[in-house]
Structure 1
Amino acid sequence: MAGRPRRHNSPHSTGRGGTGRWKRAIVLVTAAACVGVAGGAYYALHRPLKTVPAPSASKYTDVAEQPKIPADPDRTNILLIGSDTRPGEVDGNTDVLILCSIDRAHHRIEMLSIPRDTKITFPDGMQGKINEALSLGGPALTERMVSELLDVHIDNYALTHFGGLVKIIDTLGGIRIDVPERMYYRTGDKEYGVINLQPGVQTLSGAQALGFVRFRHDRLGDIGRTQRQQEFLKALSHKLMDPANIVRLPQLIREFWGTIDTDMSLAQVIHLATQATSFKQYPIVTETLPGSFHNPDPNIPHDASYWIVNPAEARYAAKHLLDDGTHVANPVQDPYITEHWSPADGMGAKARIRSATTTADTQQQNDNTTSTSANSAVSGDSTNATGGAPPSPGAVKMVVTGQTINVRSGPGTNYAVVASATAGEMVWKLEEFNGWDKIQLPEGAIGYVASWLLQPSP
């Protein structure tokens, strides 16, 4: 009698061998799925969240291939970019440009504002304003130009659009700011077309806060605006560090994320958020890149208004802000000083008298109570401009006659207005130049006025 044919276990068999194969298959599939999910989660957490490429027609497409300055493991440098473009677009120029450094070694946050009209040389030798880098080569070119200007490594950028800023402030319930003066201006924009703020301490809505940081129709123009942007960021950081908001940070990050373009990953953002409590104790030290105004020269074709900085001074200022927490309180210089700057003079001990304080609250109090004396840092003591010893040998005490006058960056009406002086105000006359007097104001600013507008002090 022939025996039964030998039975083979098949994938459909329910015997012990088949069951073993099924179990092994299930384990393998499950493991593969876990690896896939974990890999996908890792990728999602560590990939850049929403980077903005250079314009398709850009000639600066090799920016990323340029050698970079070594990173500092004890700090995170983030370039904050504000633009009037919409999310994902790069056809507009930069409106806000601030290097924000989270300094864990010194337990500080340092912010250096770069005026949008800062004159730079692009990689192809073309000269222009630094705010044009965004439309010419996207955030990558902007990052490179700031890094080269300051000789500082930049870890990441975060680009916020006007609408995004409005949403962030409204989500936080407004932000409390001391508006220093009446601000009214029609921007001509279809949205957010009117800036209309009254002076005084108040809670600003998102649209009002946008107007506060954009307004520059005051005596210092773009420099006044960079100072307001710094005050805004201080107020925003205090708002975010409020205990009620710290616990909401994960939710706030999700709400804000659609309004920001950045090359940071979600993991990086979460890591920074987890350190928010310690950052609350960090003082915030701010500075505007020092330089001088340049008005268009009618004798030079296509000349434009610029903020002129000395490259050596820019690197010196950045180094001392980041290393020491010291900074120049009054960034406006005489053009001659900018051109001939050296570490031995204009940025010496007297100029860099302010330093980081030990707590954020002390820093905020100092900013609110010592602004007048701090603004005199360029020349030393605030009393020197109108009383006591003259700021320099040969300086003569003068008084403004009969009207409010404009103080200009150079000896001529074609130079930018950098300050103003009121009738009866006491100033120091430093020198004369073809019918113009070079003067120093009580707050330390230096500029030029027509000689006939002053008379010797009685």
Structure 2
Amino acid sequence: MTPREWADEADEDSGPLSIFDHDESNGSDRPDGSDGGTGPDGGQRAAAAPNRRRRGRRLLLWTLGVLLLLAGGALGAVAWTAEHYASSVARIPNAFPSLPASEQPAAVPHSGQTFLLVGLDARSDQPTTGKDAKAPAWQVGAQRSDTMMLMHISADRKSVSLVSIPRDTWVPVPGHGSAKINAAYSWGGPALMVQTVQDLTKIRIDHVAVIDWNGFRALTDAVGGVDITIPRTIEAKGDAREWLAGTHHMDGAQALLYVRERHGLPNGDLDRTKRQQNFLRSLMLQTMNSGTLSSPSKLTGLLGTIGDVASVDDRLSNSDLYDLAWSLRAVRPDGVHFMNAPFGGFDTVDGQSVVLMDNGAAGVLWDAMRTDRMDDYLAQHRTSADTLGTDVN
């Protein structure tokens, strides 16, 4: 039924008039109490009143019908857009270890959600042949993870904490003995990486996201670049470029160089993880402050790149992604915290330069994350060298 047909049918209703109809009434609400039909043409005016009422009601109902259709169309467009972009995010099958629940950390009720973020220089799940063909999200020995972060979202959705585990951290890898933590991804993909991190932290991982640093080039350009401050000049070393002290407005290509480099940095891989965190913080600030979220054209450009940046585990449905994004709408930049896992020193094992974790201090951090007490932890460790500050090499 069209709006017009619906209005015509509704016009035959004999129910009481609304306040919108009173100007077309028979005059019973006139100040003099007359019926509006006392003149020579009073009978004609009285006869015309029902017709006016019908016309008034018809116009009102037709207008409401149009407004409802327009509103429905707008909501449909929003739903279609959300579905379209959520569907563009690739899903990772078999992202979790196939172990009995008794052999994994117990989930703590009402303690928020914890994601394992795995950063790669290039994903192996990009199209191979044909428009929609995709290779597996992981291939044995094809790549080692470049970055690992635990992202904890508080149960009240007011804060987010991201903790980097340097890729050279020496840890036990189930079934392989001790090794650098990034080897776990190469040997067993996301599932072995999840198992390794769960064994290390005793935190149950709820979801996995694999991030492609190459994709961040387009994401950075979509928000107009980012401003990153280099506190002191970093000299060129090997393939690494020179970075002059000062604030740099970086496009996607420059930002990618910034997050990849570690040669020439005073603390090598530790400084590299802080650069990655600093970039993500700057990207978040730029997204919030550049009007991207309030500009349809800018937002479309931003959303269009999400599928090129991240894959998520197949337990995350499109509706889960909507709910997660909506639940985080009140988070502000000062509610997002970055830090490294507590550093225990450098060492050499079997000829490999490795990073050691301070297991005692790390245990306190992991317990706070597991029980959703990160705000308390940060209040006590805000000045720690492991917490990201403004002075980032």
| TM-score bin, normalised by smaller chain | 0.5 to 0.7
How many residue pairs match? The answer is: 286
Q: 1:101 to 1:82 in 2, by over 3 A?
A: same
What's 1:291 paired with? Answer: 343
| Residues in 2 aligned to 1:259 and 1:106: alpha-carbon distance in whole angstroms | 23
Q: How does 1:8-19 map to 2 (within 5 A)?
A: none
TM-score, length basis structure 2: 0.62
Q: Is the 1:160–1:261 Cα contact (8 Å) retained in structure 2?
A: yes
TM-score, length basis structure 1: 0.54
Tell me the alpha carbon deviations over residues 277-329 of structure 1, each in whole angstroms, 9 at most, x when there is no partner.
Answer: 301265222221113233326xxxx342211124453232223365143558x
Aligned partner of 1:230 among 255, 258, 277: 277
Tell me the CA shift for residue 83 of structure 1.
0.8
Structure exhibiting the larger radius of gyration computed from Cα positions = 2
What's 2:259 paired with? Answer: 213
Which has the larger strand fraction?
Answer: 1
Q: Is the 1:326–1:355 Cα contact (8 Å) retained in structure 2?
A: no
What's 1:140 paired with? Answer: 191
What's 2:308 paired with? Answer: 258
Is it true that 1:273 corresponds to 2:325 in the alignment? yes
Q: Is the 1:246–1:277 Cα contact (8 Å) retained in structure 2?
A: no
Given residue 65 of structure 1, which amino acid in structure 2 is its aligned partner?
L
Is it true that 1:354 corresponds to 2:382 in the alignment? yes
What's 1:77 paired with? Answer: 114
Tell me the alpha carbon deviations over residues 421-441 of structure 1, each in whole angstroms, 9 at most, x when there is no partner.
Answer: xxxxxxxxxxxxxxxxxxxxx
Aligned partner of 1:64 among 89, 95, 98: 98
Q: 1:116 to 1:281 in 2, by over 3 A?
A: closer
3-state DSSP of counterpart to 2:179: strand
Which has the larger helix fraction?
Answer: 2
Tell me the CA shift for residue 259 of structure 1.
3.0
Is it true that 1:128 corresponds to 2:176 in the alignment? no
Q: 1:63 to 1:200 in 2, by over 3 A?
A: same
What's 1:166 paired with? Answer: 217
What's 2:375 paired with? Answer: 325
- 1 or 2 for the larger relative contact order (CA 8 Å, sep ≥6)? 2
Given residue 199 of structure 1, which amino acid in structure 2 is its aligned partner?
A
3-state DSSP of counterpart to 2:182: helix
Is it true that 1:197 corresponds to 2:253 in the alignment? no
Tell me the alpha carbon deviations over residues 166-217 of structure 1, each in whole angstroms, 9 at most, x when there is no partner.
Answer: 11111221111112333465776xxxxx645332112111121122222223
Ranges in structure 2 where 5+ consecutive residues have no aligned partner: 1-82, 126-136
Tell me the CA shift for residue 106 of structure 1.
7.1
For the aligned residue pairs, the C-alpha RMSD in angstroms reads: 3.7
3-state DSSP of counterpart to 1:82: strand
Given residue 265 of structure 1, which amino acid in structure 2 is its aligned partner?
S
